[in-house]
Amino acid sequence: MSEVLGVQATKIAAGGIANQCAEGVQDARLKCIVDSYEASALASDSTITMGGTLPAGARIQEIILSFDATLNANNTLEVGDSDNYTRYASVDGTGAIVFQRLETVDGMDYVIGTASGDNQVVIHTTGASTATGTIKLAIFYTKD
């Protein structure tokens, strides 16, 4: 059995100015943006802007998407930004209530400001039919 340290644990153990942890990864403040949208025959290939813009340097820790059963199996909701619609999640409607958490490795601890247009979270719809129903989103991020 081996005993190893994560990246931040290694920096903390070494100490000193050269080993300071990046902003938002140690003793960071967790913040949240919550928004919802009531879709009514929303056309496929639509983009829903959710919440306000995220500050540069914010680090995404969790995204929670929920939508109700009226969004049928012909709809897909992608959670990301204008640079990458699927940065955080992509989930198909099932005809049942869906509760989807962040599902991409690269979306976890993603640093806002890495790409152009990544400071505004959007939901992009695709599918064979219009979307009708309640969509809710919570965005959790750290920022000091």
Q: What is the pLDDT of residues 66-123, one digit of tens each?
A: 988 777 677 889 999 999 999 999 988 777 778 889 999 999 999 999 999 999 999 9
Query: For the chain, how many helices (H) and strands (E)?
Result: 1, 8
pLDDT band (50, 70, 90) for residue 2: confident
Task: Judge whether 113 and 120 are in contact, CB under 8 Å.
Answer: no
**Total domain count for the chain?**
1
Residue 56's domain spans which residues? Answer: 29-142
* Residue 20 counted as domain residue: no
The whole-number pLDDT of residue 90 equals 92
Q: Which residue has the higher pLDDT, 115 or 22?
A: 115
* Residue 11 counted as domain residue: no
Predicted TM-score of the model (pTM): 0.84
126 to 9, 53, 72, 78: CA distances (angstroms): 42, 23, 12, 8
The whole-number pLDDT of residue 4 equals 85
Q: For position 91, which CATH number holds? A: 2.60.120.220
* Residue 12 counted as domain residue: no
